[in-house]
């Protein structure tokens, strides 16, 4: 083998070694970014539970938007102000599955399941579980959440209720529909309408109800007459986020289980 051949072989070997090193460096960089996103999401949830708004604000983009299990939308300020004022309080909000991450440059999509327990305007609900699909973007060197889509798949009817076996992570669309979160299109015109007018005012079967206690009485009477009656909750916009959860809970306690939520306000 002549000197020229030896030189070429050595050059090719060096090129291969350099390429492998670059690939390993790229893999390490990707892993680092993925781990950062996972860690930030966990810290974000903890800040929300702890009510540390200054910390939470750091993790939310200015144009952040949340879509709740009931289809309601919140801006960053609406969401964090509700927590800061005590209107919305989380007692539990943590992942119950691995946080899957898809990284695309300065954008990352994450998906996982969580357990949640919250109160709205002092009214504490029961535990429930959700799927989360969130979009993060890296802005000025900092990962921040931009969009968050939450889909409820299990709602407890008591504080001691045990959640079902978790659905496979590979098939999120096949989860059991939760009350107020139907996953199949349907004609809602045939449903009995329960209208949320305000936090303490409701309309059911043409009757104006001015207290939660009145609503509970009417729901029990309705369930006794027609336990399988399909119900449509109207007017569950962002200002009635907690009220909608309370209404679903009251319907379940009364014995009504076929419930769908429409987030559009009633006109």
Identify the pLDDT of residue 4: 56
Asked if the structure places residue 19 within a domain, the reply is: no
- Looking at the structure of the chain, the number of domains it has is 2
Of 146, 177, 208, the position where a domain reaches its end is 177
In this structure, the strands spanning 142-155 and 107-120 are unpaired
Taking all residues of the chain, what is their mean pLDDT, rounded to a whole number? Answer: 78
Identify the pLDDT of residue 187: 45
Q: Are residues 136 and 246 in the same domain?
A: no
End-to-end CA distance of the chain: 89
Contact residues for 246 (Cβ-Cβ < 8 A; gap 6+): 120, 123, 125, 212
Q: Are residues 127 and 209 in the same domain?
A: no
Asked if the structure places residue 11 within a domain, the reply is: no
The answer to whether the beta carbons of residues 227 and 264 sit under 8 Å apart is no
Q: What are phi and psi of 101, to 5 degrees?
A: -130, 130
Distances (CA, A) of 161 to 158, 165, 251: 5, 13, 17
Of 126, 156, 177, the position where a domain reaches its end is 177
Bridge partners (DSSP) of residue 176 are: none
Bridge partners (DSSP) of residue 70 are: none
CA nearest to 70, candidates 191, 213, 246? 246
Confidence bin at 265 (pLDDT 50/70/90): very low
Asked if the structure places residue 32 within a domain, the reply is: yes
Asked if the structure places residue 6 within a domain, the reply is: no
Give 85's DSSP letter.
T
Asked if the structure places residue 20 within a domain, the reply is: no
The answer to whether the beta carbons of residues 218 and 179 sit under 8 Å apart is no
Q: Which residues of 114-153 are buried (b: 16+ CB within 10 A; e: fewer)?
A: bbbbbbbbeeebbbbbbbbbbbbbbeeeebbbbbbbbbbb
Q: Are residues 155 and 206 in the same domain?
A: no
Confidence bin at 97 (pLDDT 50/70/90): very high
Asked if the structure places residue 96 within a domain, the reply is: yes
pTM: 0.60
Spatial separation of the C-alpha atoms in residues 52 and 44, rounded to whole Å: 9
The answer to whether the beta carbons of residues 70 and 242 sit under 8 Å apart is no
Domain encompassing residue 144: 27-177
CATH number at residue 209: 3.30.420
Asked if the structure places residue 64 within a domain, the reply is: yes
Q: Which of 1-15, 37-51, 122-136 is the least confident region?
A: 1-15
pLDDT of 169 higher than 70 = no
Q: Are residues 172 and 185 in the same domain?
A: no
Q: Are residues 147 and 76 in the same domain?
A: yes
> Rounded to a whole number, what is the largest CA-CA distance in the chain?
99
Q: Are residues 184 and 166 in the same domain?
A: no
3-state secondary structure of 188: helix
Asked if the structure places residue 61 within a domain, the reply is: yes
Spatial separation of the C-alpha atoms in residues 233 and 241, rounded to whole Å: 12
Identify the pLDDT of residue 181: 38
CATH number at residue 41: 3.10.450.50
Confidence bin at 37 (pLDDT 50/70/90): very high
pLDDT of 205 higher than 60 = yes
Confidence bin at 237 (pLDDT 50/70/90): low
Of 177, 192, 212, the position where a domain reaches its end is 177
């Amino acid at each position: 083998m002549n000197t020229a051949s030896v030189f070429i072989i050595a050059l090719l070997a060096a090129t291969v070694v350099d390429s492998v090193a670059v690939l390993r460096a790229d893999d390490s960089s990707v892993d680092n970014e993925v781990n950062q996103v996972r860690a930030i999401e966990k810290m974000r949830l903890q800040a929300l539970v702890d009510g540390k708004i200054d910390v939470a604000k750091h993790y939310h983009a200015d144009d952040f938007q949340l879509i709740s299990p009931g289809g309601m939308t919140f801006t960053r300020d609406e969401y964090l102000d509700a927590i800061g004022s005590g209107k919305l309080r989380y007692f539990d909000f943590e992942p119950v599955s691995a946080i899957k991450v898809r990284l695309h440059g300065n954008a990352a999509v994450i998906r996982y399941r969580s357990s949640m327990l919250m109160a709205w305007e002092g009214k504490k609900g029961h535990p429930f579980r959700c799927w989360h699909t969130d979009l993060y973007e890296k802005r000025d060197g900092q990962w921040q959440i931009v969009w968050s889509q939450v889909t409820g798949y299990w709602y407890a009817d008591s504080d001691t209720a045990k959640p079902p076996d978790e659905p496979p992570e590979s098939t999120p669309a096949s989860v059991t529909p939760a009350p107020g979160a139907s996953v199949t299109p349907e004609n809602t015109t045939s449903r009995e309408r329960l209208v949320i007018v305000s936090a303490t005012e409701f309309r059911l079967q043409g009757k104006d109800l001015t207290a939660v206690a009145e609503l509970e009485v009417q729901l029990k009477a309705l369930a006794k007459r027609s336990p399988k009656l399909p119900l449509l909750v109207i007017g569950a916009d962002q200002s009635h986020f907690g009220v909608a959860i309370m209404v679903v809970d009251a319907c379940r306690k009364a014995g009504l289980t076929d419930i769908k939520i429409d987030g559009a306000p009633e006109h």
